[in-house]
Amino acid sequence: MKIVFVSPFPLYPATGGNRVRTLHMVKTCKERGHEVHFVFLPSRQMGDFDPQAHVALLGPANFHCLERGQVADAAYLAGRALWKAWRKLTRSRYLQSDIDETYFSGFTSQLRKLERQHGFDAVIAQYVTFTRAFDAFGPRAFRIIDTQDSFAGGIPMAQERRGLLRAHRVLAIQDQEAEYFRRMLPPSANTVSVVSHIIDIGEPLDLSECAGAAFIGSDFLQNNQSLAWFVDNVLPLVRQQEPDFRLFVSGTICRQLADAPGVVKYGVVPRVRDAFREGPILVNSITRGTGVKIKLLEAFGHGVPAVSTQLGVDGIRPSDLQGVLVTPDGDAPAFADAVLRLYRDRQERIERGRAAFRTAASWNDRELAALNDSLTPPAREPATRVVGTDKLPAY
């Protein structure tokens, strides 16, 4: 198949869960013999961007970075300002009022040009809020949304439904979100499939030495709050008993992290495994957020055990948690005890690391099969649907 990914975030540097998930999906599709293109939709919020790394992965003919014209961009910004003013005036609780509010309409003509040149078999749009991009592709293109997460509470449900109905297939990252999408869609709508993160499995790390634990995260609200909870409430309890224990923090989250006793800031590391070089225990102290925690699965892929809140393992079946010590949400003493247990007990640390590594292999077997199934168009054609002004041609 000739597959194109359309994304508002780049793949490199792989500093966030959304980037890591999509990067592994792109690599998997390439490895399975598909011709893969990646279209990047730049914005002011795009973060760090390494175009050379994209070209190295995909080749210059298959990586496409679109442009934002100055006049059209000014009109876009004016529209965004009006939406924000309306939400303030009406005291709206939503972050976005219209499904297409953050989509720059100037991208569509550029996408149409690429469609004319390549004639894609499938288009995978990242996030439901960028499904307006489907307008650029012909009726033969199989349209897939990789939702990454639900927008429950962040956008009116009617608008989220409007975006979902533009696709022939909706990908959810876990079962709970798949059920949420199915409840939102009519019975005649096409398949909602669960395709979770595909883990980049490497050589298992040596866990015999341990100077502390690791936290990995990009700089956004939920990660900042989760790390702050650990640093403020758990780390002092750990260091009361083990003064030499250190927390090694990796990722762009270090930009906002204040200095604190026992905290070592690595910054952005070249590889995920580098985050665990001194602290081969993952701290998954999630206090907010939804979706499968990709940092936890990536730790599995390197044979690293973890300590997690209950929220941090949401969406992962209990049989896949043999490498994780799970503690109640908000229970700092219990979390500290679990961290100390793996820090002190070399044998348990090694055994749980081995269990995590075994889980990574079985996890990938399931998710690779699910991805392959999701790329296969349905045998029957769905009825043409009209949702507002959105017309979805039958596949």
Q: Across all residues in the chain, what is the average pLDDT?
A: 91
- List the 192-194 sheet strands across, edge first: 63-65, 35-40, 2-7, 122-126, 142-146, 169-172, 192-194
pLDDT at 153: 78
Q: CA angle at residue 103 from 100 to 108, to 5 degrees?
A: 110
The yes-or-no verdict on residue 119 having pLDDT over 80 is yes
pLDDT at 291: 59
**Cα–Cα distance for residue pair 353/214, rounded to 1 Å:** 14
pLDDT at 26: 96
Burial class (CB in 10 A: 0-12, 13-18, 19+), 315: middle
**Cα–Cα distance for residue pair 219/253, rounded to 1 Å:** 4
pLDDT at 382: 42
The yes-or-no verdict on residue 188 having pLDDT over 60 is yes
**Cα–Cα distance for residue pair 36/12, rounded to 1 Å:** 16
Phi, psi of 139, deg, nearest 5: -65, -20
pLDDT at 154: 87
**Cα–Cα distance for residue pair 395/385, rounded to 1 Å:** 11
pLDDT in tens, 64-107: 999 998 888 899 899 999 999 999 999 999 888 899 999 999 99
**205 by DSSP, 3-state: which?**
coil
Q: How confident is the model at residue 389 (pLDDT cuts 50, 70, 90)?
A: very low
Q: Which of 21, 384, 392, 33 is nearest to 171 (CA)?
A: 21
Q: What is the mean pLDDT of residues 311-337?
A: 95
DSSP secondary structure, 323-380, as one string = TEEEE-TT-HHHHHHHHHHHHH-HHHHHHHHHHHHHHHHHHHHHHHHHHHHHTSPPSS
Share of the chain above pLDDT 90, in %: 74
**Cα–Cα distance for residue pair 280/214, rounded to 1 Å:** 7
The yes-or-no verdict on residue 390 having pLDDT over 90 is no
The yes-or-no verdict on residue 387 having pLDDT over 50 is no
b/e 159-181 (16+ beta carbons within 10 angstroms → b): bbbbbbbbbbbbbbbbeebbebb
Phi, psi of 224, deg, nearest 5: -60, -40
pLDDT in tens, 232-290: 999 999 999 999 999 999 999 999 899 999 999 999 998 899 999 999 999 999 998 75
